[in-house]
Amino acid sequence: MRVLAHASTHSPAALAGLDVETVVGDVRDLDSLRAAFRGAELVFHLAALISIDGDRQGIVHRINVDGARNSALASRAEGVRRHVHVSSIHAFDHHPTDEPLDEARGRPGPRHPAYDRSKAAGEAAVREVIAEGLDAVIVNPSGVVGPLDFVPSRVGEMLLQRRVSPRGST
């Protein structure tokens, strides 16, 4: 198994003890993705920048849209058998909140947060590469957490805090 790690944010301790090959790259750099994906049969693309305060100098768009496109393009160019684009539930309009949210739901518009718009646009970019022959699937989790959440996300942090309640029970 190979893992792509970004040079500026990668901490070797995050992958310590895991049986993975680490390749340094950047989703904004198509050539680094092609090198990382070379010989791969399956690619899971999970890279994203979560932002609740807008699109800081366009970085959210560059990572979540251009990066998604680059990952799909690199997968197609390198002959990857299946590309799994892990998007987000935020790629859908959450309103109305009292109805089920499924794939038939509309997409975020101009009044929605930059992150939400970027996730929908990233999916559209991947769909363009699918139309050009990439075998891919898009999934929309509400969150990605796990036992090796090295630097916990906000959801991960909340779960860690809830492990021991104020009364001492779990």
Listed range (38-47, 74-83, 122-131, 136-145) with the worst mean pLDDT: 136-145
Q: What pTM, to 2 d.p., does this model score? A: 0.88
Mind listing the pLDDT tens digit for each residue in 75-93?
999 999 999 999 999 999 9
> Which listed CATH number (3.40.630.30, 1.20.120.80, 1.25.40.10, 3.40.50.720) goes with 2-145?
3.40.50.720
* Tens digits of residue pLDDT in 44-69: 999 999 888 899 799 999 999 999 99
DSSP assigned state of 90: G
Q: CA-CA distances (angstroms) from residue 134 to 12, 27, 88, 101, 165? A: 32, 18, 20, 27, 47
Best CA proximity match to 50, nearest among 137, 127, 126, 141: 141
